[in-house]
Amino acid sequence: MKKKDEGKVDKVIDKLSESFEDNRLSTKKTDLLSYSHDYWPISLHWMLEDKFPSIPNAVVWPEDKEEVKEVVRWCYKGRVPLYPYGGGSGVLGATVPEKGGIIIDLKRMRSLQVDDQDLLVEADSGLNGYYLEDSLNEEGYTMGNIPQSLYPSTVGGWVGTKATGQFSTKYGGIEEMLKGIEVVVPPGKILNFKPHPRTSTGPDLRKLFVGAEGTMGIMTKGWFKIWPYPERRIKLSYASERLEDAVESVRKVMRRGAEPAVVRIYDEMETKRHFYDHEDIYGKIATVIIIEGDEKIAEVEREIVEEEFIGEYKGEGPVDHWLETRFNVKEASEFVPMGVVFDTIEVAVNWSNAEELYERVIESIKPIKGVLFASAHASHFYPQGICFYFTFAGTPPRKKDAESFYQQVWSEAMKAVIGSGGTISHHHGVGRQRKDWLEDELGGGLKMLKDIKEKIDKRDIMNPGNLGL
Ligand SMILES: Cc1cc2nc3c(=O)[nH]c(=O)nc-3n(C[C@H](O)[C@H](O)[C@H](O)COP(=O)(O)OP(=O)(O)OC[C@H]3O[C@@H](n4cnc5c(N)ncnc54)[C@H](O)[C@@H]3O)c2cc1C
């Protein structure tokens, strides 16, 4: 940050420190370093190399919408960059404060209220994902949004990134759950879009903040659809000879209108990696399925799955194994410090191009010098298509640094996705990693998005640089 800009930030920090007592505004180095990265492998790599190219000047923790408004107002006045921050579990650098400025961490805003008759929960944006779902379960409900990052993520981050959970095939993505939203936009205005079952009142402005990744405003709370806690849960698993068989089976299930909550199909390599204690399915394609909800509806869905599935039935064991291990993530912390480059890329595609996309992405990554493996599972399903979640690992060849090796893999994968008619992200978002492919993705609409952002945020304070905006 330039010297003259440092002066502007200091003035804003001085102003804020008049209202935010010591423990709710920090300029301590340890805090600034903690907020300089998220789970984006590039930003984790910076830390290993002892490089900190993006450090904020301060972190502030508001407790209500009025305080959020005050922070936005001062940052706008002083032209200081402001980065909304939930759990910092994003994987694409969306909270990396690339231009310095202030991080606004919403985690102190965490109340919730259930409306049983309307089946809605009103939730503050800083509410922790696990806490929300656990509280709902205790009261006899579920929201059904269970991302693998349930423990470290927040409601505001879910909306900001347009997240989806492991149970999305029944409950949908966060955009389908969100019924109303309250946001603070520059120069410091509160907008309140009330929840309705549906409304036909012009373009839906709520959606402007879903997936905006902190570039349009700050969500302070939202109203979300909830469901009665499922009275019945049915666990099924299959081993198929070919990936196409499993994929085709699920396509037919979805076409008939059945909606299992969880469906996950693992390619041969991932079957072995994930189901290490089920040797009988090595060399096959494992599928785990959970059907849940009303007893009678669940039984009908089970019949549909049993009628359509091409593969050998393997009972509940693999599903129990998946349930026990589904939050385990150790690759980044175990392998990255050893110099292994590791990441995941989730994309979506219509059924008609699903097979081609899977093959092309795997074939685009594998031949890259240094790649150790590329594999995938399919984790979210729709009557129209499927989400593939690719994983790759490798060690950069000599004379190539980790960052350019990483970007080479990403670039080849993105080209293969676009070339096979897919979308470059299913649920992680764009952040700072995918921004260069957004133009292609939006079919000529990037300029319009930039214009909208400019109108809302004339001084470009909201998460500048994210999404390439
Ligand atoms: C191990 C692991 C597993 C994961 N599994 C999944 C998964 O299953 N499904 C999935 O969808 N994602 C997954 N993710 C990605 C990540 O957890 C999600 O993107 C999540 O929604 C981020 O929430 P967060 O609170 O951590 O947001 P952050 O990382 O803090 O922020 C993400 C973005 O949202 C913006 N933002 C945050 N709060 C607000 C707010 N109140 N108002 C406006 N903008 C805001 C930020 O500015 C940023 O652009 C995973 C990540 C990890 C590390």
**Residue 345's CATH number:** 3.30.300.330
In a domain, 237, yes or no: yes
| Interval 210-243: pLDDT, tens | 999 999 999 999 999 999 999 999 999 999 999 9
CA 104 / ligand 1 centre spacing (Å) = 15
**Residues 88, 178: one domain?**
no
Quick one: CA dihedral 66, 68, 71, 76, positive or negative? Answer: negative
Residue 427 CA to residue 348 CA, distance in Å, equals 9
Domain that includes residue 23, residue range: 3-107
Question: What is the structure's pLDDT at 330?
Answer: 79
For residue 453, name the pLDDT band (cuts at 50, 70, 90).
very high
Is the pLDDT assigned to residue 333 strictly greater than 90?
no
Percent of the chain with pLDDT over 90: 93
In a domain, 444, yes or no: no
For 431, the token pair is 């952040």
Question: What is the structure's pLDDT at 3?
Answer: 72
**Residues 42, 26: one domain?**
yes
| Interval 87-114: pLDDT, tens | 999 999 999 999 999 999 999 999 999 9
Question: What is the structure's pLDDT at 229?
Answer: 97
Atom 39 of ligand 1: nearest residue by CA position: 156
The residues, ordered by sequence, that sit 6+ positions from 329 with a Cβ below 8 Å of its Cβ are: 148
For residue 40, name the pLDDT band (cuts at 50, 70, 90).
very high
Is the pLDDT assigned to residue 2 strictly greater than 80?
no
**Residues 257, 310: one domain?**
yes
**Residues 165, 100: one domain?**
no
Is the pLDDT assigned to residue 292 strictly greater than 90?
yes
Residue 76 CA to residue 82 CA, distance in Å, equals 9
Using the atom order of ligand 1, give the atom closest to the CA of residue 129: 25
Using the atom order of ligand 1, give the atom closest to the CA of residue 219: 42
Find how far residue 426's CA is from the centre of its chain: 9
Question: What is the structure's pLDDT at 272?
Answer: 95
| Interval 139-174: pLDDT, tens | 999 999 999 999 999 999 999 999 999 999 999 999
In a domain, 463, yes or no: no
CA 162 / ligand 1 centre spacing (Å) = 8
145 half-sphere exposure, CB direction, 13 A CA radius: 30
Residues in the chain: 469
CA 96 / ligand 1 centre spacing (Å) = 12
Atom 27 of ligand 1: nearest residue by CA position: 157
Q: Please, are residues 342 and 372 in contact by the beta-carbon 8 Å criterion? A: no
Give the total number of structural domains in the chain: 4
| Interval 380-419: pLDDT, tens | 999 999 999 999 999 999 989 999 999 999 999 999 999 9
For 255, the token pair is 């076409």
In 3-state terms, what secondary structure has residue 281?
helix
For residue 284, name the pLDDT band (cuts at 50, 70, 90).
very high
CA 90 / ligand 1 centre spacing (Å) = 4
**Residue 291's CATH number:** 3.30.70.3450
Atom 53 of ligand 1: nearest residue by CA position: 89
In 3-state terms, what secondary structure has residue 400?
coil
DSSP 416: H
**Residues 335, 423: one domain?**
yes
**Residues 20, 40: one domain?**
yes
Q: Pocket of ligand 1, candidates 71, 89, 107: which has the most ligand atoms within 8 Å of its Cβ, to mutate? A: 89
CA 89 / ligand 1 centre spacing (Å) = 5
Kindly report the backbone phi and psi dihedral angles of residue 373, in degrees, each rounded to the nearest multiple of 5, phi listed first.
Answer: -160, 160
- Tell me the pTM: 0.97
Domain boundary, last residue among 269, 290, 325: 325
- Please provide the average confidence, as pLDDT, over all residues in the chain: 96
Cβ count near 201 (within 10 Å): 8
Atom 32 of ligand 1: nearest residue by CA position: 157
Cβ count near 247 (within 10 Å): 22
**Residues 142, 99: one domain?**
no
Atom 15 of ligand 1: nearest residue by CA position: 90
Percent of the chain with pLDDT over 70: 100
In a domain, 344, yes or no: yes
Reference 167, options 292, 319, 347; nearest CA is 292
Q: Please, are residues 121 and 29 in contact by the beta-carbon 8 Å criterion? A: no
In a domain, 292, yes or no: yes
Is the pLDDT assigned to residue 288 strictly greater than 90?
yes
CA 88 / ligand 1 centre spacing (Å) = 6
Question: What is the structure's pLDDT at 84?
Answer: 98
Ligand 1 site, CB within 6 A: 38-39, 83-91, 94-95, 106, 125, 147-149, 153-154, 156-158, 160-161, 163-165, 213-214, 218-219, 329, 427-428, 463, 466
| 3-state SS string for 357-383 | HHHHHHHHHCCCCCEEEEEEEEEEECC
For residue 22, name the pLDDT band (cuts at 50, 70, 90).
confident
Once rounded to an integer, what is the mean pLDDT over residues 39-54? 91
Greatest mean pLDDT among 4-8, 146-150, 442-446 lies in 146-150
Domain boundary, last residue among 269, 293, 325: 325
CA 129 / ligand 1 centre spacing (Å) = 10
**Residue 130's CATH number:** 3.30.465.10
CA 85 / ligand 1 centre spacing (Å) = 9
Using the atom order of ligand 1, give the atom closest to the CA of residue 173: 11
**Residues 117, 214: one domain?**
yes
| Interval 64-85: pLDDT, tens | 999 999 999 999 999 999 999 9
Residue with the two structure tokens 């301590």:
28
Domain boundary, last residue among 204, 228, 252: 228
| Interval 109-131: pLDDT, tens | 999 999 999 999 999 999 999 99
CA 95 / ligand 1 centre spacing (Å) = 9
**What letter represents residue 341's amino acid?**
V
